[in-house]
C-alpha cells in the first residue's frame, strides 16, 4: 500500500494560532530523519507490523522503550514483519534503538516499560524462538531487545508476584517470568510500576521542565493531586470470575510532558463498559480525563472498538493521533470517526497509523483516506522548550530513516 504522500510531495502546514498547525513547508525528498540533539524529547512509534514498541529519548538523553511486541499471528490477520522477516521483531526494535541512541552517546536503555502482559507488547514464543545466551528463556520481543542492548531498569505492572487480578498464563507469559527471574538472579533491575508517580521514570540528570507521570496502572488512576492514585476496580471478592479485570484494563498509561507539550499513551486500556453494565472498566476514560488535553495521543488498544469513547476523545483532544496498528481490526471504523470528529473537539488534527492493512483500508476507506500516513515509523520530536514539535513519518521498509512526511506544530 502507498502512503498518502510520496516523496515527491511537499508538506504544507497552515495557521499560526496556538493549538493549531503552524507554518511549515518542507521538501522531504531524499531527506533523512535528523539525529536527536540534547534538550529535545523524541517519541518514536516503531512500525514493525507485529505489535507495539515506542522509543522515548528524554531531553538529557535518558532512554525508555515502552513495549516490544512480537506477535506470531499469520499474515491473513497481521501486517507483514517490517522491514522483513530476516530478523525477529524484537531484533529490529533493538537495532532501531541502537541506531537512534547513537546521538546520545549511550548504547543502552535506561528503562524498558512493559504496559501489560500480552504478546503484541512483550513478545510471543514458540519452538522456533531461539534460547537466550543469558538465561533460561527464549528470545522474542523484550527478551530479544534485552539480549542486544543493556537494560537499566525493567518496569512492569505485576512484579514480583504477577498475581493481580489473576496470574497471566500462557507460554509467552511464562517465558517473560523466566526472563524477569533471570534478571533478578543476575542482579539487574526490575520494578513494579507505581500509579500516580511522576518520579519513578525520571531522567538521570538534566534540569529540563520534563516529567513522566504514571496516570494509570492495575486499575489505579492518578487523582491529579501529588502522587496519589485511586483504584477504579471493585473488590475482586464482589466479582464473578468472568468479570474480573482483564489484562488490557490493567495496562500502564503515561503522560509525558516537556514545558507546554504533553503526550498521552495508555497501552491497551479500554473505555468500553459493556454498555454501562461494568462502569469500573472505563479506566481509559478516567486516565484521559486527568491527563488531558494533550498535543499528541495514541489510539489505545490499537484503535480497537473498545478503546476511545467520545469522552476520551473530548478529554485528550490532541492535534495528532498515532494508531499503533498491526492487525486487520486496527482501527475500528467508529474509533476513526471519533478521532476525526469536529463535534467532539474542533480544529485541525492529523491521524497516523504505523501499519494499516490493505483489507482494513478497503473497509474503512472513507475515513482511512484521511490518514496522514498508513505505514511507517511515526516520530514526534519536541523542541527543548516544549513550545513546538515536529511529526516525522519515516519509511519502515529499510533502516535508512528516510522521510515520508514532516509537519511542524505549536504546542
Ligand atoms: Zn495490544
Q: Residue 377 CB: number of other CB atoms within 10 A?
A: 25
Q: Quote the ligand 1 centre to 117 CA distance (angstroms).
A: 9
User: Which residue in this structure is represented by grid cell 513522566?
Assistant: 212
Q: Quote the ligand 1 centre to 9 CA distance (angstroms).
A: 33
Q: Quote the ligand 1 centre to 118 CA distance (angstroms).
A: 7
CA neighbor of 22 nearest in space, from 404, 394, 391? 391
Number of folded domains in the chain?
A: 1
Q: 116 lies in which domain range?
A: 38-235+244-410
pLDDT greater than 50 at residue 281: yes
* CA angle (331 as vertex; 345, 338 as ends), nearest 5: 15
The pLDDT of 44-58, averaged and rounded, is 98
C-alpha torsion 246→249→250→253, nearest 10 = 160
Give domain status of residue 31, yes or no: no
Q: Quote the ligand 1 centre to 119 CA distance (angstroms).
A: 8
pLDDT greater than 60 at residue 134: yes
CA distance 30 to 43: 22
Give domain status of residue 8, yes or no: no
- Quote the radius of gyration of the chain (alpha carbons, Å): 20
φ, ψ for residue 188, nearest 5 deg:
-95, 155
φ, ψ for residue 142, nearest 5 deg:
-65, -35
Give domain status of residue 66, yes or no: yes
What is the 3-state composition of the chain as percent helix, strand, coil, each rounded to the nearest 5?
25, 25, 50
Q: Quote the ligand 1 centre to 30 CA distance (angstroms).
A: 33
CA distance 368 to 349: 14
Q: Quote the ligand 1 centre to 274 CA distance (angstroms).
A: 19
Q: Quote the ligand 1 centre to 290 CA distance (angstroms).
A: 23
Q: Quote the ligand 1 centre to 247 CA distance (angstroms).
A: 10
DSSP E strands, 107-219 = 109-113, 151-156, 189-192, 210-217
pLDDT greater than 90 at residue 8: no
CA distance 245 to 371: 33
Q: How many percent of the chain have pLDDT more than 90? A: 92
pLDDT greater than 60 at residue 26: no
The pLDDT of 109-138, averaged and rounded, is 98
How confident is the model at residue 29, as a pLDDT? Answer: 66
More confident residue, 30 or 338: 338
Q: Quote the ligand 1 centre to 116 CA distance (angstroms).
A: 9
Q: Quote the ligand 1 centre to 2 CA distance (angstroms).
A: 24
Give domain status of residue 22, yes or no: no
Q: Quote the ligand 1 centre to 393 CA distance (angstroms).
A: 21
Q: Quote the ligand 1 centre to 24 CA distance (angstroms).
A: 34
Give domain status of residue 18, yes or no: no
**In sequence order, what DSSP letters do the residues of 80-106 get, joined into one string?**
PPSS-TTS-HHHHHHHHHHHHHGGGT-
CA distance 357 to 82: 13
Each residue's pLDDT tens digit, 88-99: 999 999 999 999
pLDDT greater than 80 at residue 13: no
pLDDT greater than 60 at residue 347: yes
How confident is the model at residue 3, as a pLDDT? Answer: 39
The whole-model pTM stands at 0.94
**How does the average pLDDT of the chain come out, rounded?**
93
How confident is the model at residue 10, as a pLDDT? Answer: 37
Each residue's pLDDT tens digit, 215-241: 999 999 999 999 999 999 999 999 999
Confidence of residue 20 (pLDDT cuts 50, 70, 90): very low
List the grid coordinates of 163. Answer: 498475581
Q: How many percent of the chain have pLDDT more than 70? A: 93
User: Which residue in this structure is represented by grid cell 494499516?
Assistant: 356
How confident is the model at residue 206, as a pLDDT? Answer: 78
Strand order of the β-sheet with 377-382 is 189-192, 151-156, 109-113, 63-66, 54-57, 41-45, 377-382, 388-394, 403-410
How confident is the model at residue 207, as a pLDDT? Answer: 84
Give domain status of residue 14, yes or no: no
Give domain status of residue 11, yes or no: no
More confident residue, 30 or 82: 82
Q: Quote the ligand 1 centre to 409 CA distance (angstroms).
A: 29
How confident is the model at residue 28, as a pLDDT? Answer: 74
CA neighbor of 247 nearest in space, from 120, 70, 112? 120
b/e per residue 214-247 (b: at least 16 CB within 10 A): bbbbbbbbbeeeeeebeebbeeeeeeeeeeebbb
Q: Are strands 320-323 and 253-258 parallel, antiparallel or unpaired?
A: unpaired
pLDDT greater than 70 at residue 11: no
Q: Quote the ligand 1 centre to 88 CA distance (angstroms).
A: 18
Q: Quote the ligand 1 centre to 200 CA distance (angstroms).
A: 24
How confident is the model at residue 27, as a pLDDT? Answer: 57
Q: Quote the ligand 1 centre to 331 CA distance (angstroms).
A: 12
Each residue's pLDDT tens digit, 296-330: 999 999 999 999 999 999 999 999 999 999 999 99
Q: Quote the ligand 1 centre to 46 CA distance (angstroms).
A: 14
- Please, what's the largest Cα pairwise distance for the chain? 60
List the grid coordinates of 132. Answer: 537466550
Q: Are strands 320-323 and 10-13 parallel, antiparallel or unpaired?
A: unpaired
Q: What is the CATH number of the domain that holds 337?
A: 3.60.15.10
The pLDDT of 243-263, averaged and rounded, is 98
The pLDDT of 169-197, averaged and rounded, is 98
Q: Quote the ligand 1 centre to 96 CA distance (angstroms).
A: 20
Confidence of residue 284 (pLDDT cuts 50, 70, 90): very high
Give domain status of residue 253, yes or no: yes
The pLDDT of 278-282, averaged and rounded, is 97
How confident is the model at residue 30, as a pLDDT? Answer: 78
pLDDT greater than 90 at residue 198: yes
Amino acid at each position: 500500500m502507498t502512503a498518502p504522500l510520496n516523496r515527491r510531495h511537499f508538506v504544507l502546514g497552515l495557521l499560526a494560532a496556538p493549538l493549531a498547525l503552524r507554518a511549515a513547508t518542507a521538501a522531504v525528498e531524499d531527506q533523512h530523519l535528523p539525529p536527536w540533539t540534547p534538550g529535545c524529547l523524541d517519541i518514536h512509534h516503531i512500525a514493525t507490523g507485529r505489535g507495539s514498541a515506542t522509543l522515548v529519548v528524554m531531553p538529557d538523553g535518558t532512554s525508555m522503550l515502552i513495549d516490544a511486541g512480537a506477535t506470531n499471528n499469520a499474515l491473513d490477520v497481521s501486517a507483514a514483519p517490517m522491514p522483513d522477516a530476516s530478523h525477529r521483531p524484537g531484533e529490529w526494535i533493538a537495532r532501531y534503538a541502537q541506531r537512534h541512541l547513537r546521538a546520545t552517546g549511550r548504547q543502552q536503555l535506561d528503562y524498558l516499560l512493559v504496559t501489560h502482559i500480552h504478546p503484541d507488547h512483550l513478545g510471543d514464543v514458540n519452538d522456533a524462538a531461539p534460547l537466550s545466551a543469558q538465561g533460561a528463556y527464549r528470545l522474542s520481543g523484550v527478551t530479544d531487545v534485552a539480549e542486544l542492548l543493556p537494560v537499566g531498569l525493567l518496569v512492569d505492572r505485576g512484579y514480583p508476584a504477577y498475581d493481580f487480578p489473576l496470574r497471566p498464563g500462557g507460554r509467552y507469559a511464562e517465558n517473560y517470568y523466566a526472563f524477569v527471574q533471570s534478571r533478578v538472579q543476575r542482579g539487574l533491575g526490575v520494578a513494579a510500576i507505581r500509579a500516580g508517580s511522576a518520579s519513578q521514570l525520571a531522567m538521570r540528570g538534566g534540569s529540563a521542565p520534563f516529567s513522566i507521570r504514571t496516570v494509570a496502572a492495575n486499575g489505579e488512576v492518578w487523582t491529579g493531586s501529588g502522587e496519589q492514585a485511586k483504584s477504579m476496580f471493585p473488590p475482586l471478592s464482589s466479582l464473578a470470575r468472568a468479570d474480573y479485570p482483564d489484562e488490557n484494563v490493567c495496562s500502564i498509561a503515561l503522560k509525558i510532558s516537556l514545558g507546554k507539550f504533553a503526550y498521552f499513551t495508555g497501552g491497551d486500556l479500554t473505555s468500553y463498559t459493556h454498555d454501562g453494565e461494568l462502569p469500573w472498566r472505563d479506566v481509559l476514560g478516567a486516565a484521559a480525563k486527568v491527563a488531558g488535553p494533550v498535543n499528541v495521543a495514541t489510539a489505545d488498544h490499537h484503535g480497537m472498538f473498545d478503546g476511545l469513547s467520545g469522552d476520551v476523545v473530548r478529554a485528550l483532544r490532541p492535534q495528532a493521533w498515532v494508531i499503533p496498528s498491526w492487525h486487520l481490526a486496527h482501527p475500528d471504523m467508529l474509533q476513526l470517526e471519533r478521532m476525526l470528529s469536529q463535534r467532539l473537539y474542533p480544529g485541525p488534527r492529523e491521524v497516523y497509523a504505523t501499519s494499516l492493512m490493505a483489507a482494513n483500508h478497503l473497509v474503512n476507506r472513507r475515513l482511512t483516506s484521511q490518514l496522514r500516513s498508513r505505514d511507517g515509523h511515526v516520530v514526534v520530536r519536541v523542541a527543548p522548550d516544549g513550545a513546538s514539535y515536529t511529526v516525522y513519518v519515516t519509511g519502515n521498509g529499510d533502516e535508512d530513516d528516510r522521510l515520508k512526511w514532516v509537519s511542524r506544530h505549536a504546542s
